[in-house]
Structure 1
Amino acid sequence: MRDIVVDLSELATEERRDLADFLDTLTEEEWEQPSLCPGWSVRDVVGHIPSYDALGWPAVLALFARSGFSLGRCNQVGVNQSRRLGTEELVARLRAHAVPRGITAMFGCAIALTDGVIHHQDIRRALGHPRTVPQERLVAALEFAPRARALPAPANVRGLRVIATDVNWTHGTGPEVRGPGEALLVALAGRPEALADLEGPGLDALAARLRR
């Protein structure tokens, strides 16, 4: 049996490469459209995904220190820097950093995989280009999201039982929220656009958290 670290690294790499292939099909107008990630265009999301992979640990620590240890401000620094690049350069950079390294490789590359799946959907949902997330990647991202402190998912899922109806995954106790695993992941990550795909007695509580 392969080690789970190797598995997640491979899954994260596959996700980034699939996204790069999809990006090759976009028009220049689509690149400038808003994504589901608040305040970021499609271009910005693509610029963000590999922005930490090119940094060694000393550079990451220096960035966090300069940003007052705010993850949001650190993320925005990378996005701002990526805005100097053309779309072809952004795709090439994503392909060059398809294999996670540095901070995104932590937790056995669960950070890179979960971030990659969520942001891929931020782009696809915003542009109206749905896809079926490969089951192995989706379940792995769902497993990690509720304990990923960099995401709003741990707070959003608290006191709820969330049940994926298309893959073998459940989490938590309390009023139920049910729906496709992809919609659950996107909603737990803070995107209210996914709420329409969910149901259950706990949905109102989740919706209130996302709309605060």
Structure 2
Amino acid sequence: MTRPDTLRLAQDERADLADFLAGLAPEHWDSPTLCDRWSVRDVVAHVISYDDLGPAAFVGRFARGRFRPDRVNQVGVDSYASLAPHELLTELKTRLRPAGLTARFGGRIGLVDGLIHHQDIRRALGAPREVPAERLSAALSFARVAPPIRAWSRARGLRLVATDIGWTSGSGPVVEGPAEPLLMAMAGRADAVDELSGPGQSLLATRLL
């Protein structure tokens, strides 16, 4: 079986996000998303905020964030606070191919981060889409084990089944449904859990409270 080019998938995901953002009204950039306390503009800033960091700058950002992931991420978002929406969009368009930290693991960090945050924006704005199955399959597999996502703790002892793309992982009571809400639930987005079913669904739901 040919392994997917996950760096290309991540680039395609960012390109789709840029296309979507280009059609937003200016006021939508200040709308809330599924990311707690982050607006659309904040989420876009976060998606690109690690691309240009060298080793020294990376360590410096963690130090300014007191080595707490939420604070470290906020430091990156704040560094883009002065940019207008069209300037943020330009920055994203010049960084479609992940670099730096987001290019690690063959681009899987950039793919998972970009896909989840794209959906954070779309779900909050009521703008669903059909995510390509190849991206979802690669993102689910990496998100299941990536420490920052913390899916391993939410899904422990459960068998996850994406019914629309033939992806499965784990063992135990089944949680099943379309791949997109399954990924979002794994990432801690409680609003996606109601789109899933199976004997393990209620346990997963309690872990997102």
Q: TM-score, normalised by structure 2?
A: 0.96
- Aligned position for 1:120: 118
Q: Does 1:181 align with 2:151?
A: no
CA contact under 8 A between 2:151 and 2:186: conserved in structure 1? yes
- Aligned position for 2:160: 162
CA contact under 8 A between 2:11 and 2:98: conserved in structure 1? yes
Structure 1 position 3, deviation (Å):
6.6
Alpha-carbon distance in structure 2 between the residues aligned to 1:124 and 1:87: 16
Alpha-carbon distance in structure 2 between the residues aligned to 1:66 and 1:197: 38
Alpha-carbon distance in structure 2 between the residues aligned to 1:39 and 1:155: 23
- Show CA shifts across 1:30-64 (max 9, x none): 11111011111111101110000021122111211
Moved over 4 A (4+): 1-4
Aligned CA-pair RMSD: 1.3
Give the aligned length: 209
- Aligned position for 1:34: 32
Match of 2:145 among 144, 147, 165: 147
- Show CA shifts across 1:141-184 (max 9, x none): 00100111011211111111010010020010111111000000
Q: Does 1:192 align with 2:190?
A: yes
- Aligned position for 1:13: 11
Matches within 5 A, 1:44-193: 44-193=42-191
The 10-residue stretch of structure 1 (39-48 or 60-69) with the greater mean CA deviation from structure 2: 60-69
CA contact under 8 A between 2:176 and 2:196: conserved in structure 1? yes
The 10-residue stretch of structure 1 (130-139 or 54-63) with the greater mean CA deviation from structure 2: 54-63
Unaligned runs of 5+ in 1: none
Alpha-carbon distance in structure 2 between the residues aligned to 1:127 and 1:195: 18
CA contact under 8 A between 1:13 and 1:98: conserved in structure 2? yes
Give the AA of the match of 2:42.
D
CA contact under 8 A between 2:131 and 2:180: conserved in structure 1? yes
CA contact under 8 A between 2:61 and 2:76: conserved in structure 1? no
CA contact under 8 A between 2:190 and 2:208: conserved in structure 1? yes
- Show CA shifts across 1:118-149 (max 9, x none): 00000001000000111111100001001110
Give the AA of the match of 1:145.
A
Alpha-carbon distance in structure 2 between the residues aligned to 1:80 and 1:154: 29
SS for the counterpart of 1:150 is helix
Unaligned runs of 5+ in 2: none
